[in-house]
Amino acid sequence: MKLTVAVPGVTGRLGGPLAELLLEHGHQIRALVRDQASPDVRRLQERGATTVRGDFDDRFSLEEWAKGADVVFIMSTPHHGVGPQAETRHAIAQADAARAAGVGYVVYSSSAGADRPTRVPFMESKRHVEEHLRSLGLLHAFVAPVYCMDNVRFPWNLEPLRAGRVVRGLPPSLALQQVAIMDVAAFCALAIERQDAFAGTRWEIASDVITGEEEARALSRVVGRPVAYVSVEPEQADAMTPFFRFVREEGFAADIERLRRDYPEVGWRAFETWAAGQDWDAMLWVHPGDRHGSGLSKRHRTDLLPPACSPRGGRRWNSVRALLIDLGVNAPAALAGARRAGPPAIAPCCAVLQPTANRR
């Protein structure tokens, strides 16, 4: 059955792939967006998505967005400085808008562990949303992912990775359940499409379980240079301290075997399979300035870091140049940025990029 699905966060790591998947499956999308002119939003519009301009803090825009939808997907984040309280408020506002618009079924992107008190702020925030949704009497499904593999791509994790390190507040031999965001999106799509099977259910989802040491070895293989695992005390992990304490003391317990057996269509990537699918050259050799850690933000496209100029040979030079061309980057400005970065190693990089700059 073709559905009309209201999806928020379509410019984000989860909402983006989910919207793409639902469009691929032939559904109509009502995408809540803050900036109609952003390239991601334009792309979705070209693919047939309806976009509704709004904000999680604007109740009327949320009701407009939810109007006419068969299913509302609910997500919010504590990221970008808004904090856990805003995350709860934003998700509850989406749930209330779905109810006010007379929508019959919602799927909430929660977190593993959010069904019980954990003292982890970004899990507690989702627990309050789950409680609110249960009290609303709306048909709902909760999709609750464990630690996302894609977190390695966050800027604060890419920086140590450039120096050959994965740093985490967990012992090297402690196994951590993980899941790829693409698999989360695929499972959310199933929950949206199969209301009869999913309404009233809550799923903790994971696709692999891997120790820090194993993760570092897998990254060494796919990145093509040595990566070591560095274990720090949870207290040294800043905002992640309560999370690492939770994992050490309690941990995740998603039933990976069952998920793989019952929902093979999701793909359920192992960590190394996921890692092999990432463009590490682009991420590690160009500044990971955007908030999704993809290395592609406008703000930083012209801001080459010194590692881009490592004398490791042509492959990396070429990938930097190809990336700049793909992005339509203003190459002279990129060169100026590279020169400003300073070290003598920059010179050969500029030399490689210079012909490109002259052609543009």
Cα 266–chain centre separation: 17
- State yes or no: residue 292 binds ligand NAP (CB under 6 A): yes
Q: How far is the CB of 217 from ligand NAP (least distance, A)?
A: 21
- State yes or no: residue 15 binds ligand NAP (CB under 6 A): yes
Contact status, residue 46 vs residue 93, Cβ threshold 8 Å: no
Member of 52, 129, 143, 148 binding ligand NAP (CB under 6 A): 148
- State yes or no: residue 147 binds ligand NAP (CB under 6 A): yes
Member of 55, 63, 279, 290 binding ligand NAP (CB under 6 A): 55
DSSP classification of residue 237: G
- State yes or no: residue 294 binds ligand NAP (CB under 6 A): no
Distance (Å, whole) CA 325 – CA 331: 8
Site for ligand NAP in 79-108 (CB under 6 A): 79
- State yes or no: residue 128 binds ligand NAP (CB under 6 A): no
Residue 7's identity, in one-letter code, is V
Q: How far is the CB of 349 from ligand NAP (least distance, A)?
A: 30
- State yes or no: residue 250 binds ligand NAP (CB under 6 A): no
Which part of the chain contacts ligand NAP (CB under 6 A), choosing from 54-62, 134-142, 264-272, 306-314?
A: 54-62
Report CA-CA distances (Å) from 335 to 147, 223, 280, 297, 345: 37, 25, 21, 17, 13
Summarize the chain as % helix, strand, coil (round to 5). Answer: 50, 15, 35
- State yes or no: residue 122 binds ligand NAP (CB under 6 A): yes
Q: What is the DSSP string of 299-340?
A: GGTT---GGGG-SS-HHHHHHHHHHHHHTT--HHHHHHHHHH
Residue ranges that bind ligand NAP, judged by CB under 6 A:
8-15, 32, 34-35, 55-57, 75, 77, 79, 109, 111, 122, 145, 147-148, 151, 292
